């Protein structure tokens, strides 16, 4: 039988010297998981990244794979969402409507990657005459 208090104490001792509270919480969770199931490998950083908790069926023979923000954006592109140029706020609102609650910074790399893959293109556009131009993404 597992003595949860001693396991939790070991995990607390392991992270006691860490200064960054968020990093400390993540490390504590990782260490605690490793102590509670010593035979299993701990989760990787990718498992903790925002938006990467959805499971999708892969191609036949590949089983299931995790899908993240890029998959959500690719789905929007396939649905024709980017026929009209969209800014980050509009994209975030659409994803939130699909229960994918992300921050603007969560879209930076995935949108850039989709531009490199020639799925989307970006262009700076001013929403109104007196407003500053912001990036908009549309179909390639």
Pair of tokens at residue 93: 């609102």
62 strand-pairing partners: none
pLDDT at 2: 64
pLDDT digits over 82-133, tens only?
999 999 999 999 999 999 899 988 999 999 999 999 999 999 998 777 888 9
What percent of the chain has a predicted confidence (pLDDT) above 70?
Answer: 77
Q: Which residues of 39-67 are buried (b: 16+ CB within 10 A; e: fewer)?
A: eeeeeeeeeeeebeeeeeeeeeeeeeeeb
pLDDT digits over 7-17, tens only?
888 888 888 88
pLDDT at 66: 45
CA 43, 47, 50, 55 dihedral sign is negative
Question: If you write DSSP's letter for every residue of 6-40 in order, what string do you get?
Answer: HHHHHHHHHHTT---HHHHHHHHHHHHHHHHSTTS
pLDDT digits over 32-83, tens only?
888 877 665 555 444 444 444 444 444 454 444 446 899 999 999 999 999 9
pLDDT at 40: 59
pLDDT at 24: 84
Angle at 51 between CA 123 and CA 34, to 5 degrees: 145
pLDDT at 65: 43
pLDDT at 75: 93
What would you measure as the largest C-alpha separation in the chain, in angstroms? 69
Pair of tokens at residue 129: 């005459």
Portions of the chain given CATH number 1.10.10: 68-139
Q: Which CATH number is associated with domain 68-139?
A: 1.10.10
pLDDT at 51: 42
- Which residue carries 């925002």 as its tokens? 50
- Enumerate the H helices of the chain as residue ranges: 4-15, 21-36, 45-48, 69-78, 88-97, 104-116
């Amino acid at each position: 039988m597992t003595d949860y208090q001693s396991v939790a104490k070991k995990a607390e001792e392991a992270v006691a010297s860490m200064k960054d509270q968020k990093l400390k919480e993540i490390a504590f969770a990782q260490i605690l998981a490793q102590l509670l199931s010593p035979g299993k490998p701990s989760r990787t950083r990718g498992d903790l990244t925002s938006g990467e908790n959805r499971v999708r069926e892969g191609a036949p023979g590949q089983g299931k794979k995790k899908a993240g923000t890029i998959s959500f954006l690719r789905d929007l592109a396939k649905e024709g969402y980017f026929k009209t140029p969209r800014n980050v706020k509009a994209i975030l609102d659409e994803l939130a409507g699909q229960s994918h609650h992300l921050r603007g910074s969560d879209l930076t790399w995935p949108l850039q990657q989709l531009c490199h893959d020639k799925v989307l293109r970006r262009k700076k556009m001013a929403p109104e005459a007196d407003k500053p131009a912001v990036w908009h993404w549309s179909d390639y």
